[in-house]
Amino acid sequence: MSIEFELNGSKTKLDPQPETALLWVLREHLKLTGTKFGCGSGLCGACTVHLDGHPIRACITPVSAVAGKSVTTIEGLSKNRSHPLQKAWIEAQVPQCGYCQSGQIMQAAALLESNKNPSRDEIVAYMNGNICRCGTYLRIIRAIKIASAEVNEG
C-alpha cells in the first residue's frame, strides 16, 4: 500500500506495511534519526513529532495514520538550530546525554504554538509525558521561559 504525506515540508511517498509505527519509518526507512525510540509504548515522549502541528508519539502511530497529513520532526523544526527553543536549549545548557531532547523540544514547540506565554504550572503539565532520565527538568523549564520571552518580544 502506498502512502503519501508531507514530511518537513516535502512530499513523501512510501510503500510500507501500513501498521508499521511511524517511528521506524522515519528512523530506519527515511534515516531521520533525530526522533528517538525510548519505550515504544507512548510512555516516555522520546519519539515526539508534530502531526498537522500537534505533538504525537510516533512509536504508537501507525504510518497509515499520517496519509495525506503533514509531519514535522526535529530535523524540520528549523534550519541551523534557529528555533527560539533550540537557541534557548543551548543558552540554558539543557541536554546531558541528549537522548530525550528531540522529543522534549518538539513537545515544547507545540506548547509555544498554542500558548506563547505559558506559566510554570502550564509548562509542567504540558511536558509531563516526556521523561528525561538525566534529570534536566529544571533547565527545560528555564529554557522554555527564555524562548517564550523571545517569541513574545519578536
Partner 1 sequence: MKKPYILDNHMPSLSRRRFIAGTGGLTFMISIGGLINGNWASANEDSEGSRTKGSNITVWVKIDSEGTITVLNPSAEMGQGSMTALAVLIAEEMDADWSKVRVEHSPIDPKIYGRPGWGGRGYHMITVGSFTVSGYFKPLRQAGAQARYVLLKNVSMKWKIPLTELKTEPGMVIHSASNRRISYGEIASFAKTIKEIPEIPEKSLKKPGEFRLIGKYVPRVDIPEKVDGSALYSMDVIVPDMLYATILRTPVNGNQPESFNEKEIMSMQGIQKIVRLKHGVGILGKRYENLLPAKRRLKVKWSKGAPAEMFDSEKILEGYKNVASSGKKGGHVLNQQGDADAAIQNAHRTYSSDYFSDHVYHAQMEPLNAIVSVNPAGDGAEIWAGTQSPSGAIKAVAKLLGTSPRKIKLHPCFLGGGFGRRSMSDYIVEAAELSKAVRKPVKLIWSREDDFQYGAFRPMCLQRLVAGLDADGKLIAWKHSIVGDGRRLLSSGAKIPFYDIPNQHIEILGLSHGVRLKHWRAVGHGFTKFAIESFIDEIAEAEGVDSYQFHRQVMHNSPRALKVLETAADMAGWGRKPPDGHAFGISFAERSGSLAACVAEVSLEKSSGKIKVHRIWSSLDAGIVVQPDNAVAQMESAIIYGLSSVLSERITFKDGKVQQSNFHDYHVMRISDAPEEIHVKIIDSNESPSGIGETGLPITGGAVANAVAALSGIRLKHLPFTPDQVKKALES
Per CB under 6 A, residues contacting ligand FES are 37-40, 42-47, 57, 59, 95-101, 132-134, 136
Asked whether the beta carbons of 9 and 76 are under 8 A apart, the reply is yes
| Rounded-to-integer distance, Cα 52 and Cα 139, Å | 28
Site membership for partner 1, residue 131 (CB under 8 A): yes
Size of the site for partner 1 (CB under 8 A): 58
Site membership for partner 1, residue 100 (CB under 8 A): yes
Rounded least distance, CB 82 to ligand FES, Å: 21
Q: Count other Cβ atoms within 10 Å, centred on residue 90.
A: 12
Rounded least distance, CB 1 to partner 1, Å: 14
Residue 39, φ and ψ in degrees, nearest 5: -140, -25
Q: Count other Cβ atoms within 10 Å, centred on residue 138.
A: 10
Q: Site for partner 1 (CB under 8 A): which residue of 37, 64, 70, 146?
A: 37
Site membership for partner 1, residue 119 (CB under 8 A): no
Binding residues for partner 1, rule: CB under 8 A, are: 16-17, 20-21, 24, 27-28, 31-41, 43-44, 46, 73-75, 77-78, 81, 86, 89-90, 93-102, 105, 124-125, 127-141
